[in-house]
């Protein structure tokens, strides 16, 4: 793993007058050492009498540096002084880097190594020159120029690319018409056998009738709501003749409606009665969810197209045990009255009004009005996110409300809640973008890429950058898998 950048093939100028070419430089990291190899041409070095020229390679990087083994060339007089001082019979033996001028080689194959340190990543090499006179006194010093640089051939591992989402909230179109809403429920008003007159004291009728009254009252007390219809739909059970049940269901529904109408000063045309002679649909649902032994055969009979009276007769004769159980446990629940109170709500045009309604009567607000409430709030704050969470509670099946609520939940890191919202977000371009964000936050980047690509093709401008980001993440994970282990 070697990579050497030669900055220049320079010649060190010796004050003594010689030129020292430095060539064939190699900087190499082997294991935990930094090695320096080069050739230094000494042929023209001519130190002054009683002087020496000492060349010192230096590795440096900013304020950090290390000096390597020097190369010394000594004149005759300086050599004699050195020999006397050191008292070494062979002061310039093979392998030493001190050379007597008369015997020096034309070129030196230089090698040295030092322990590698972190600062050496990107270190430069220079050769300093010292002129040394008699008695070891310095005559001059010249700092060398940059000759080479060591560059790590294995670049450091990059920082993992993180997915930072940009949330795209859906701005619903403001409604230009009056908002229409409704509240529904079921009441089980019991009548005496064969009777159709409401008796408020019979069984639990007072409580059941109160359900209808409370629903109407909840609308009437709100000055911003106007009732447009009160619908009652009565059902009879399948036991007995169809013609009798048909009349009974109609008469009982109208009787309950008359009772309710008498309590309120509302236009008579707002009250609408409907009736179903025999509640076979309700019976089928009850049988389908039961553990009756003959469940499948009874369902087959219920689904048949035969006359209702014949159907009830065969049910009774073919499945007597099951019929008895149904007549006591299920038929009473089939005799019910569904009610629906429809009303309009005035529009709110300021964020202040909308926020007040959020505190007092959030169900008066439309999806677009909830979005209005978020304007001016800092995205990601609790107040901002609460707006969209409440919109989804009021409109649990609305795709726009669920997309925005999912974005708010994801921005808080609440992915389980976001996932539930996204299940009802639909398949619009911005829904697909939000699902891409969710997938990316779950680190399912291949899936996220598919969602972002689809949203991009459908015109979501933020999807392009998101797609490119996850592509970068995918590529990095393929190149550096150990970053993510």
pLDDT at 432 over 90: yes
Query: Which pLDDT value is given to residue 309?
Result: 94
Place 90 in a pLDDT band, splitting at 50, 70 and 90.
very low
Is 101 within 8 Å of 93 (Cβ atoms)? Answer: no
Is 448 within 8 Å of 472 (Cβ atoms)? Answer: no
Query: Which pLDDT value is given to residue 75?
Result: 81
More confident: 2 or 21: 21
List helix spans (H) across 442-484.
Answer: 445-457, 462-479
pLDDT digits (tens, 9 = 90+) for 312-347: 999 999 999 999 999 999 999 999 999 999 999 888
pLDDT digits (tens, 9 = 90+) for 388-420: 999 999 999 999 999 999 999 999 999 999 999
Percent of the chain with pLDDT over 90: 61
The percent helix, strand, coil of the chain (3-state, each to 5) is: 40, 20, 35
pLDDT at 93 over 60: no
Mean pLDDT across the chain, nearest whole number?
87
Query: Which letter does DSSP use for residue 161 in this model?
Result: P
- For tokens 């008895």, name the residue: 324
Element (H, E) at 19: strand 19-30
pLDDT digits (tens, 9 = 90+) for 206-229: 999 999 999 999 999 999 899 999
**Of 84, 175, 189, 180, nearest to 134 (Cα)?**
84
What the block records as the tokens of 5 is 């950048």
pLDDT at 186 over 70: yes
pLDDT digits (tens, 9 = 90+) for 160-180: 999 999 999 998 876 544 578
What the block records as the tokens of 234 is 């009565």
C-alpha to C-alpha distances, 196 to 42, 89, 249, 427, nearest whole angstrom: 126, 136, 8, 49
3-state per-residue secondary structure call for 332-391: HHHCCEEEEEEEEECCCCCHHHHHHHHHHCHHHCCHHHHHHHHCCCCCCCHHHHHHHHHH
Domains of the chain: 4-150 (2.60.40), 179-343 (3.30.1330.60), 347-484 (1.25.40.10)
CA dihedral 85, 86, 87, 89 (to 10 degrees): -130
Query: Which pLDDT value is given to residue 85?
Result: 63
């Amino acid at each position: 793993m070697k990579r050497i950048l030669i900055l220049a093939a320079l010649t060190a100028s010796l004050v003594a007058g010689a030129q020292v070419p430095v060539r064939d430089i190699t900087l190499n990291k082997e294991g935990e050492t930094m090695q320096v190899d080069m050739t230094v041409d000494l042929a023209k070095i001519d130190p002054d009498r009683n002087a020496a020229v000492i060349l010192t390679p230096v590795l440096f990087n900013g304020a950090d540096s290390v000096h390597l083994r020097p190369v010394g060339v000594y004149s005759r007089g300086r050599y004699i002084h050195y020999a006397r001082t050191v008292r070494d019979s062979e002061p310039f033996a093979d392998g030493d880097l001190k050379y007597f001028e008369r015997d020096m080689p034309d070129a030196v194959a230089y090698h040295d190594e030092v322990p590698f340190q972190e600062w050496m990543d990107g270190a430069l090499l220079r050769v300093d020159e010292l002129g040394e006179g008699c008695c070891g006194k310095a005559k001059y010093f010249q700092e060398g120029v940059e000759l080479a640089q060591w560059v790590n051939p294995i670049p450091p591992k990059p920082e993992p690319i993180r997915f930072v989402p940009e949330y795209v909230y859906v701005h619903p179109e403001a409604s230009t018409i009056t908002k229409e809403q409704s509240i529904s429920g079921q009441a089980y008003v019991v009548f005496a056998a064969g009777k159709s007159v409401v008796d408020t004291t019979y069984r639990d009728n007072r409580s059941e009738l109160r359900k209808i009254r409370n629903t109407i009252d909840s609308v009437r007390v709100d000055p911003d709501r106007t009732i447009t219809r009160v619908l009652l739909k009565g059902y009879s059970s399948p036991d007995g003749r169809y013609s009798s049940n048909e009349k009974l269901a109609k008469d009982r529904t109208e009787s309950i409606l008359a009772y309710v109408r008498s309590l309120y000063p509302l236009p008579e045309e707002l009250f609408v009665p409907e009736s179903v002679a025999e509640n076979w649909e309700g019976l089928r649902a009850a049988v389908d969810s039961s553990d009756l032994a003959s469940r499948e055969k009874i369902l087959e009979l219920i689904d048949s197209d035969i006359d209702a009276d014949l159907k009830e007769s065969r049910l009774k004769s073919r499945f007597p045990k099951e019929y008895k159980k149904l007549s006591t446990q299920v038929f009473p629940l089939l005799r019910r009255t569904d009610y629906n109170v429809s009303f309009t709500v005035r529009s709110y045009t300021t964020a202040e009004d909308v926020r007040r309604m959020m505190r007092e009567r959030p169900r008066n607000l439309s999806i677009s009005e909830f979005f209005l409430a978020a304007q001016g709030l800092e995205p990601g704050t609790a107040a901002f996110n609460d707006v969209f969470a409440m919109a989804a509670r009021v409109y649990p099946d609305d795709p726009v409300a669920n997309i925005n609520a999912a974005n708010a939940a994801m921005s808080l890191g609440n992915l389980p809640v976001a996932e539930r919202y996204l299940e009802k977000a639909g398949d619009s371009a911005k829904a697909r973008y939000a699902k891409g964000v969710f997938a990316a936050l779950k680190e399912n980047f291949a899936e996220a890429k598919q969602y972002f690509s689809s949203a991009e093709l459908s015109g979501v401008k933020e999807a392009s950058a998101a797609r490119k980001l996850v592509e970068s993440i995918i590529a990095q994970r393929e190149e550096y898998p150990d970053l993510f282990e």
